[in-house]
A and B are shown apart, each in its own frame.
Chain A
Amino acid sequence: MIDLSALTDLSEFVMSHWPHADLRAIGPYEQS
């Protein structure tokens, strides 16, 4: 298991696990 609270940059983690993820889709939710 990965301790997410220990990560300083989630986007870096996401991109390493999901290289095709759209970075614009990462971050707090805002109504589009």
Chain B
Amino acid sequence: MTSPSVRITNPRTDVSVVKTYVELMKLRIVELLLITTLPAMVAAARGWPGWWLAFATLVGGTLSSAGANAINQAIDIDIDRVMSRTRRRPLPTDRVSRRAVVVFGSALGGAGFAWLWATTNLLAATLSLTGLLLYVFVYSLLLKRTTTQNIVIGGAAGAMPALVGWAAVTNSVALPAWVMFAIVFFWTPPHFWALAVRYRKDYERAGVPMLPVVVGERRAMDHMVAYTVTLIGMTLLLYATGAVGWLYLVAAATAGIAFLAGTWSLRDHPEAAMRYFTYSNVYLSVVFIAIAVDVLVLG
């Protein structure tokens, strides 16, 4: 007697499906984006912007960023398949279809826009959607595979939350918001080039022209020093706008000196790239938390 053949191709539970979709949202990156949103709101409001507005803006920002992250993975599936860092993601492991991811990401992005428009204002919603479109069309589709400037120009997408936060409070985008945008923008290249130093072989195999792959680690690190000097200058200019006080200045200057020292020392210790990458996250968090604390404490 032969038993009927049963094919179990991809056993999925409801929990694993939910986990897969949560994974597509890359919430750890979203977390960093939100760390720039809330201090921008505090600075714009010259104090606490209110629990509801803060909650509404962070929810909208999360939806938009998560949507962009999901769509990006649908675009980069061939790259993610060959990189050891990304090959366990949902798409390379065939846990979900590409079409489903595009629909999911678009739905999140659309929901983020609608939510922000309904709960804050049209300007904040439009800026958030602009960030998503920049990430998908400019960074992922136009720049990532073609130019060493990919992460430089693409950094504009990651810098949008500072503008969104400010706009959510004031329905405008004033000078301090643009300086915060510039801080994130000039922080982005050293941050991602450190990752590219660590995973240089991966990027090389995938054909992604990250700067350390194309010009070598040492010369890429010289670029990182140049961007870090500009970044520190921008953090000082934020103080000069009058949006923040001495508490911020002390924190930003101290963290900036430490960050520059780290960038410089990386030139002789490329093996410390991941530690530097982690520290760069801490650095940006310190600068933006200092903005919020300064405004809340000093008024």
Question: Do A and B interact?
Answer: no
Q: Which B residues are within 8 Å of any A CB, using their own CB?
A: none
